[in-house]
Chains A and B, each alone.
Chain A
Amino acid sequence: KAGVTQTPRYLIKTRGQQVTLSCSPISGHRSVSWYQQTPGQGLQFLFEYFSETQRNKGNFPGRFSGRQFSNSRSEMNVSTLELGDSALYLCASSTQNGLAGDTQYFGPGTRLTVL
């Protein structure tokens, strides 16, 4: 099976712009979670989508949003970019059957740099 893919791998934007990141989960996985990794804050949970619905959201401002399509692919959007949004954005997919033992598999990430 192909792994989780994310596009683009690298992005450079300026403050005030918006950005859209894309994630394609492992075939058969219906859940997609997004994480932000920064040197100071580690891996922080952004939100999780399952069957096109956001089921869980982390502690991030409303500038961070996402959606999921019927084929389970997901996009994440950040509006009005700030310098502090520079980070590695990671997407993970899983079956999310709600049972212990459900493992999340990560994509390679999108490195966003805000100038």
Chain B
Amino acid sequence: DQQVKQNSPSLSVQEGRISILNCDYTNSMFDYFLWYKKYPAEGPTFLISISSIKDKNEDGRFTVFLNKSAKHLSLHIVPSQPGDSAVYFCAASSALSSGSARQLTFGSGTQLTVLP
């Protein structure tokens, strides 16, 4: 059972336009969400995160929105650049027990292609 889902395996956007990547989750215990960017044969690079007590977090061209009631988060990239072309993973974190380990559960990723 996939607890974190990215239903769009790919997305193409024109340079300068907005890219919107979506992610849905089912586990209400998730309290921290992250987006990672990944190039082939490299490790994921942390992009931006959001706590469940917030509904929006911005960092430069990247904004993450969280809708807890819908169990949905999205990553907006404005303006999109060709260098943003990569696979984007959303991940959700929950505490396994009080004050202890936290585990990341990843979505399957979305390949973003920004066309020049």
Contacts and interface: CB of A to CB of B under 8 A. Distances in A.
Contact of B95 (A33, A43, A98, A109): A98
A72 to B, nearest CB: 15
Contacts of A56: 96, 101, 103
Nearest to B32: A100
Interface residues of A, number: 30
A98 B98 contact: yes
Interface stretch (B36-44, B59-67, B71-79): B36-44
Contacts of A91: 43
Interface residues of B, number: 29
B41 A88 contact: yes
Contacts of B51: 100-101
A88 B96 CA distance: 26
B85 interface: no
Interface string A21-62: 000000000010101000000110100101000011000000
A48 B104 CA distance: 10
Contacts of A90: 43-44
Contacts of A106: 36, 43-46
B46 A105 contact: yes
Interface of A: 4, 6, 31, 33, 35, 42-43, 45, 48, 50, 55-56, 88, 90-92, 94, 96, 98, 100-109, 111
B44 to A, nearest CB: 5
Nearest to A33: B104
A103 B49 contact: yes
Contacts of A88: 41
Contacts of A35: 106
B28 to A, nearest CB: 14
A98 B74 CA distance: 25
B101 A55 contact: yes
A104 B105 CA distance: 12
Given A42-B108, A45-B105, A109 B43 contact: yes
A40 B98 CA distance: 33
Interface string B93-111: 1011011111111111100
Given A42-B106, A56-B103, A92-B104, 13 more contacts: A6-B43, A33-B103, A43-B89, A56-B101, A90-B44, A92-B43, A98-B95, A98-B101, A100-B32, A100-B51, A104-B104, A109-B41, A111-B41
